[in-house]
Amino acid sequence: MPRAFSKLAFTPAVRSHQTRMGSAATYEKFISGGPEQGHEIGPTELAFIEERDGFYQASVSETGWPYVQYRGGSAGFLRVLDARTIAYDDFSGNRQYISRGNLDGNDRVALILMDYANRRRLKILGRVQFTEGAPGDATAQAPVERSVTIHVEALDWNCPQHITPRFTAAELAPQLHEFGKQIGTLETENKRLRQELAKAREAAAPYARGNRPLL
């Protein structure tokens, strides 16, 4: 876990529980000394972020209740602006505005970006800034109400151990296309064999009836 992420995630209460469970010493190296790491988006993170077609976003209300929302769009709708900033367009939805209202009182968000097919997961902590009425993608199916800019405070690649592989239709398309070609080849071969079998049966029919062909 990078130092920038552990500094935010390992609160006194978390450290106390780590001590009780015997893991505090294991994580000490992530919070004491050393250069700051895990607070900037590198080439690997940039490619991963811009390939995603959705992510989970958590905010917290003024009453202390967390709220998790799924944000989706075409691959690339979550954009990397620079090493510390990402952004996306916020489309008009059911107009409950739970996340939007929560972020008026507390601008902190936690994001989880998933790549189920390759069992990869990126966590991002940041602070949100809104630009209301920002122009968006004219081809989008819903109106853009605002632009959401997230200033990255920390990020961390999470353990893939318990990620169950899942595949989207787009991810399966190349394999399904190849299977379709193979099935087409097999169907053609099967048709040819049926035709040859029919000819062989027709040629053998006189013998099957006990008749000898005329010489």
User: From CA 28, how far away is CA 15, in angstroms rounded?
Assistant: 9
Number of neighbours of residue 172 by Cβ within 10 angstroms: 12
Is 22 part of any domain? Answer: yes
Q: Please, what is the average pLDDT of the chain?
A: 89
pLDDT digits (tens, 9 = 90+) for 2-34: 889 999 999 999 999 999 999 999 888 888 866
**Domain CATH code at residue 52:** 2.30.110.10
Q: Are residues 99 and 114 in the same domain?
A: yes
User: From CA 75, how far away is CA 52, in angstroms rounded?
Assistant: 5
For residue 112, the enclosing domain spans 38-157
Tell the burial category of 103 from Cβ atoms under 10 Å away from its Cβ (0-12, 13-18, 19+): buried
User: What would the mean pLDDT of 48-66 be, rounded to a whole number?
Assistant: 96
How many domains does the structure of the chain reveal? 3
Q: What percent of the chain has pLDDT over 70?
A: 92
Range in 135-139, 150-154, 165-169, 206-210 with the lowest mean pLDDT: 135-139
Question: 66 - beta bridge partners?
Answer: 60
Range in 34-48, 112-126, 145-159 with the lowest mean pLDDT: 34-48
Tell the burial category of 2 from Cβ atoms under 10 Å away from its Cβ (0-12, 13-18, 19+): middle
Q: Are residues 30 and 48 in the same domain?
A: no
Is 162 part of any domain? Answer: no
Helix (H, G, I), strand (E, B) or coil at 114: strand
Q: Are residues 185 and 129 in the same domain?
A: no
Q: Are residues 126 and 215 in the same domain?
A: no
pLDDT digits (tens, 9 = 90+) for 71-83: 998 899 999 999 9
Q: Are residues 79 and 120 in the same domain?
A: yes
Q: Are residues 97 and 138 in the same domain?
A: yes
Q: Are residues 115 and 140 in the same domain?
A: yes
Q: Are residues 146 and 97 in the same domain?
A: yes
Question: Is the predicted pLDDT of residue 152 greater than 90, yes or no?
Answer: yes
Q: Are residues 27 and 82 in the same domain?
A: no
Q: Are residues 118 and 201 in the same domain?
A: no
Question: Is the predicted pLDDT of residue 210 greater than 70, yes or no?
Answer: no
- Flag whether the pTM goes above 0.75: yes
